[in-house]
Amino acid sequence: MQSVAQIIDSIRDVTGAKYNSDIEELLNIKPGGLANLKKKDNRKGLFRYLSTFCTLRGYDAGWFMTGGEGQLVVESQKWFLDPLRGGLVQDRLMKLEMWEEDFDYLAANLDMEIEKGEEYLKISRSDLDSYSNKKGIRLDWLLTGEGEKNLKRKLKLENSNLNLSTGTSPRWRTTSEEANRNRRILLAIKNNYKGSDLEDLAERGLLSLQVNKKPQWMNILADFWLEVGGDSVIIDAKVLEVLFPKNFKSPVTAVWQTSHDPDKPAPIKDTKAHNRHISHMPDAVDEDSVKDELFASMKRELELLRKDNKRLESELEEFKEIGEKDL
């Protein structure tokens, strides 16, 4: 499960929103509310706004919460159904564009994808979303006719013309496909090499993806795995172990390897010190202690990332204030 800051980054990737104020506008959050949700890491509070945001656009809220697991666009929700006769969305679009001819021509003029059924007209939610952002109106008003009509400010969106329903957004495809690829490969390694050191390394890799979904070391491992066809062949475990970061091997694991491998005896520089402390060396690896150590390390890294995020957020607000004063 992602933190609030990570969920907001996923929203940035999908929408192209540049500033926090743009995301607040898209999610209908009061000004300054996003910073408060970040500060408290209030995922429950954010989900209340995120669920409405996703329902209107046909997105899966779980995709944002988990960091790209599954599909972003819910196939059954990619179309908005408007009655062929007396459709209110069609009527609102025609009034906004001051159009008096058939809606089919208006849709073609707006480059809006539609499909006609027996009773309903299917209109692409993605195209309706793009239109509302460009027009400066709220998508929920366009679809329901309720609430405020106009956005409070003009949105500054990057790549706002991307068709996310077909997955042509470079940022979206990179975020979801690469993250899913990394997770899939590590899960395969963990299942294929159960009971070995490689299983522990894969588990640590999966935990590290919670901090960084696209680490550099994973690209090298993934390229090798796909090139040799790791899904269909058994690769030598020692070859794969070399591709994992060296810091994944904890001190506890290192002690166990040297004390149980007759070919690699532990070098003893101080015999007296060795004899004095030999009784404290573990006879076997305590897997729980290894996991606890890893979790503690991951928590420290997450805390450092949170501090960096807070610092960057504060600097961004200062720059915005300076920019507004200059304007």
Residue among 229, 236, 227, 231 nearest 196 (CA)? 236
Contact predicate 80/89, CB 8 Å: yes
Report whether pLDDT(252) > 50.
no
Rg (CA), the chain: 26
pLDDT at 291: 55
Contact predicate 78/129, CB 8 Å: no
Task: For residue 232, give both structure tokens.
Answer: 């269909």
DSSP 195: T
pTM confidence score: 0.49
The string of pLDDT tens digits covering residues 83-137 is 877 788 999 999 999 888 888 888 888 889 998 888 899 999 999 999 998 888 9
* Distance in angstroms (rounded) separating the CA atoms of residues 216 and 221: 9
More confident residue, 283 or 53: 53
Mean pLDDT for 135-149 is 89
Q: Delimit the domains of the chain by residue range.
A: 169-249, 250-285, 298-327
Query: Given strand 79-83, what is the order of strands in its sheet?
Result: 79-83, 120-124, 114-116
Report whether pLDDT(163) > 50.
no
Contact predicate 69/63, CB 8 Å: yes
* Distance in angstroms (rounded) separating the CA atoms of residues 271 and 59: 64
Mean pLDDT for 312-319 is 78
More confident residue, 219 or 277: 219
pLDDT at 142: 92
pLDDT at 172: 41
Report whether pLDDT(18) > 50.
yes
More confident residue, 113 or 176: 113
pLDDT at 282: 40
